Every structure is written in C-alpha cells, then in structure tokens.
Amino acid sequence: MVKNNQPLGATIRRDEVTGEIFVARVIHGGLASRSLLNPGDRLMEVNQQPVGGMSPEEIIRILASCQGTVMFKLVPKIEKPANQQATLFVQAMVDYSPQQDPAIPCAEAGIQFCRGDVLEVLDQADALWWQARKLRGAPGCAGLIPSIGQLKKQKETCWWQSFRALSWFSSCLSSAPTPPYIEVVRYQRHLQARHRLIALVPSGVGVNELRRRLIETQPKTFRGPVPTTRAPKSYEEPGQEYHFISRSQFESMVDSQFLEYGNHKGHLYGTSFDAIADVLDRGMVCVVDIDPQVLVRTQELWGYVVFVKPPSIYSLRQTRKNAQVVTSYYVNRPFKDEDFQEMVEMGRKMEAQYGHLFDCVLVNDRLLDACVELLSAVQRAQDEPQWVPALWVSPADRS
Ligand SMILES: Nc1ncnc2c1ncn2[C@@H]1O[C@H](COP(=O)(O)OP(=O)(O)OP(=O)(O)O)[C@@H](O)[C@H]1O
C-alpha cells in the first residue's frame, strides 16, 4: 500500500471467494507496523469508505488520493501470528533487485541487495517471501526478499541466470552448488585460537610484491609457506615466503599434499596443507596467494580472501613507470599498455565470477598505500569480530 508515493509498509490481498480484503503482510519497522496493523486483519473501510468487494488496485488508488491522516477500519485477526523463529543472519551470494523480479508480490516492498551484504531475516512466516533488513549503512525498515525456496523456483529470471553461472564455477571444486544465501554468525576469534589463513587472489597485478612486503614488515608474525622449485632471489630468506626445494622433492609431494599447485613462468609452486598447518600451529599468520576457485573458506582453514584488484589504466601507467614485468621467457621488461589492459580485463572478469567469495577487495594502486591497506585488512581479519559461515562455529562459541 502506498500513500503520497510513500510505502505504508503493508500489502493487502482479496479473498477471491468472499471478496473480503485482508492485510497480507506488514513490513517490520514500517509505518503500518507502528500503527499496529497485523497480517490477517480484515480491512473494512479507508477514511470511512467501505472497501469490501473492491480490487486491491482500487483501494490503492483511494489511498494515493488521500490527504493527511488515513483512517482504517479493521476487524482484527483474533489470534496474533507469533513469530517464534529466532533471528537469522545470512550473507547474500547473489545480487538482487526487486524492480527486476517479476515474481515479487510488491516491488516497492522489496529490498535490493548485493553479493556480500549481510541481511537480518526478521520474518520467515511466508515460505516464499521473507522479511529482512540490510545491516550495512543506516538501520532501515525491513523489506521483502525471496526465500531460498522462492529462489529455487525462479530459475529463469535474468539475475538468477547470472547466479547459476557463478555456482557453476564453484561447483568445479565443490560438489555442492553455491547457495543464494549462507547463514552467518558474528564471531570474535579467541586469542589462543589459530589465526585465519590469509589468501591473496591475484589478477597479475602485484600480489607477490604485496605478499613479500607484508611478510617483510613482521617476519615473526607473517609467513608464506609456499614450496617452489625456483631459486631464491638475493633478498629472499628460505622458509619465509617460500620453501626452495628441488623438482624431484616437489614431485614427490604432488599426489596428496597440495591444496593447489602449478607451473608459473617455468617453475613449480604449491600450497600444501601441511605447510599451512605448520605455520598456523606456530601461532603465526599464514599468507598465501591462491586461485579463487580453490576452496579456502572452510572450517579447517577459516580462509580470509583478499582480492587484489588493478586500478584504472591511467593509474597503472603512472605507478608502474619504473616497474618490470617478468615474462614467460624469463626476461624482465617494462610494462606495456597491453599488459595494463590485460590486468584490468582480468580483474573485471575475476570480480564478476568470484566476487561472492571475497572478504575484502584491495586496489593495488600506489604500492605503499596498498601495503598499509593490506596490513590493516589482515589485522582486522584476525582481531575484530567478523561475519563467518555459521557452519564454522559451534553453537557454544557464538556471540
Ligand atoms: N602498486 C605497485 N606500484 C608499482 N609497482 C608495482 C606495484 N605492485 C607491483 N608492482 C611491481 O610490478 C611487478 C609485478 O609484480 P608481481 O610480481 O608482484 O606481480 P604478480 O601479480 O605476482 O604477477 P604475476 O601473477 O604475473 O606473478 C613487480 O616489479 C612489482 O615490483
């Protein structure tokens, strides 16, 4: 229901048999809920005009023409619906716009959300349309969001198709498709608990440099346990960013021990479970760079995923003037414009495909700024309360 273009925070429905008009739902925190309207109340009159037998559209027209106070005459529903469900917090894995969803009963009552938003679900009484509010920004009124059941029904809408594309990628590595929402809880790591694994997702834009500098700032805190077959550079200390091993040693580890491994510019690199566990068990923070498809957001690793994104081509030209790119022919050469275009394009594609898996997006523009930002993101991940998947935390540990 809308008056003077302002939603009243309620929807109505007509009983097709009796023609009676009922309040269908009342949005939590909206004007109608403050006026003590309840779902199931029978609407008799609006400003003394009987509404029985009218269509909902006619009633909305009456409301739209009302000036000042609106008086409803209602027959209240005898038993009030008790919302027994505990509040649920979910993190959206998809973008959603009610204006583009043809199935929503009232687009004005819906809320728009983006991947990564945390939503407080206040009402799940309707199996198809839940009421929720976004936690980011100023606390607003609740709105309708599709329930998980409703999302499953809506396989053909545009925004759902983009979600299916995403879940296809994730399913390359996990057999379960990505759900549209995951239940999350607020969690503060105990001081004695293992640190979260820090996973930097590269898009060819300086992840190695950032990882190296992070470890260098506090070598007793940060460690990168990546075995590699390449030779150490003059400034690299074995065991800090890399373990330098022979190809035959590497190959003997390949079958069982790696989360991910591959050939990069002629050398083998890997991320092994044991090496990560070793760093974490020493009470240090383990920092790896990893392909976004590798599942590190698990109960074992508590991965905190930082996507390192390129700035604009203009900024790349400015900041990489003196930088060298290592080509696949083992030659260092200055960056070219094609390299920058490739970085920007790669960053755009990765964000579109895997954005729902990133805890933090960091733009590697000016190197020192990016280093400071990375350090503070890593500290936040370890020391501040975080929304994490509910599956990771036992009920006794939830705050
Ligand atoms: N913000 C920055 N400003 C200037 N130079 C940078 C910046 N970030 C990285 N570089 C330089 O760019 C070059 C490539 O960086 P790096 O080797 O870390 O890239 P990478 O993302 O790991 O690339 P690849 O995935 O291809 O190995 C290095 O010479 C590095 O010093």
pLDDT 10s digits, 209-221: 999 999 999 999 9
Separation of alpha carbons 284 and 198, rounded Å: 11
Write the CB contacts of 316 (distance below 8 Å, at least 6 apart in sequence). 310, 335, 340, 343, 344
**Ligand 1 center–CA 367 separation, angstroms:** 9
Q: Which of 200, 203, 208 gets mutated to test ligand 1 (max ligand atoms within 8 A of its CB)?
A: 208
Structure tokens of 335?
A: 């960056």
Alpha helices per DSSP H over the chain: 31-34, 56-65, 148-153, 158-171, 207-217, 247-257, 273-281, 313-319, 337-354, 367-383
**CATH superfamily ID and name for 88-186:** SH3 Domains (2.30.30.40)
Write the CB contacts of 223 (distance below 8 Å, at least 6 apart in sequence). 215, 239, 240, 279, 282, 284, 285, 286, 287
Domain ranges (residues) in the chain: 2-75, 88-186, 191-383
**Ligand 1 center–CA 296 separation, angstroms:** 23
Residue 375 contacts residue 347 (beta carbons within 8 Å): no
Q: Kindly list the distances between the CA atom of residue 90 and the CA atoms of 93, 134, 335, 340, 390, in Å, as whole numbers in the listed order.
A: 9, 10, 43, 37, 9
Separation of alpha carbons 162 and 157, rounded Å: 9
Residue 325 contacts residue 332 (beta carbons within 8 Å): yes
**DSSP track, 3-23:** ETTEE-SEEEEE-TTT--EEE
Looking at ligand 1, which residue's alpha carbon is closest to its atom 14?
A: 206
**DSSP track, 114-170:** -TT-EEEEEE--SSSEEEEEESSSS----EEEE-HHHHHH-TTSHHHHHHHHHHHHH
Structure tokens of 184?
A: 């999350």
**Ligand 1 center–CA 325 separation, angstroms:** 7
**Ligand 1 center–CA 380 separation, angstroms:** 24
Architecture of the domain spanning 2-75: Roll (2.30)
Q: Between vectors from CA 113 to CA 107 and to CA 116, what angle results, nearest 5°? A: 160
Q: Which DSSP letter does residue 361 get?
A: E
Check pocket membership of 206 for ligand 1, CB cut-off 6 A.
yes
pTM: 0.77
pLDDT of residue 399: 60
ipTM reported for the complex, 2 dp: 0.95
**Ligand 1 center–CA 72 separation, angstroms:** 66
pLDDT of residue 173: 39
Q: What is the Cα 101 distance to its own chain's centre?
A: 20
pLDDT of residue 109: 86
Residue 103 neighbours by CB distance under 10 Å: 14
Check pocket membership of 209 for ligand 1, CB cut-off 6 A.
yes
Write the CB contacts of 19 (distance below 8 Å, at least 6 apart in sequence). 52, 53
Check pocket membership of 310 for ligand 1, CB cut-off 6 A.
no
Q: Between vectors from CA 345 to CA 339 and to CA 349, what angle results, nearest 5°? A: 140
Instruction: Indicate the burial class of 61 (C-beta count within 10 angstroms; 0-12, 13-18, 19 or more).
Output: exposed
In the predicted model, residues of the chain with pLDDT beneath 70 are 1-6, 79-85, 137-139, 152-178, 255-256, 327-331, 398-399
The domain 191-383 having CATH identifier 3.40.50.300: the answer here is yes
Looking at ligand 1, which residue's alpha carbon is closest to its atom 26?
A: 204
Q: Which atom of ligand 1 is nearest to the CA of 323?
A: 29
Residue 201 contacts residue 354 (beta carbons within 8 Å): yes
Write the CB contacts of 249 (distance below 8 Å, at least 6 apart in sequence). 227
Q: 310, 362, 306: which is closest to 339 by C-alpha?
A: 310
In the block, residue with structure tokens 């400003």: 47
Separation of alpha carbons 192 and 340, rounded Å: 43
pLDDT of residue 372: 97
Residue 273 contacts residue 256 (beta carbons within 8 Å): no
Structure tokens of 209?
A: 């440099």
Q: Which of 200, 203, 205 gets mutated to test ligand 1 (max ligand atoms within 8 A of its CB)?
A: 205
**Ligand 1 center–CA 10 separation, angstroms:** 54
pLDDT of residue 154: 62
Residue type at 83 in one-letter notation = N
Q: Which atom of ligand 1 is nearest to the CA of 308?
A: 21
Check pocket membership of 364 for ligand 1, CB cut-off 6 A.
yes
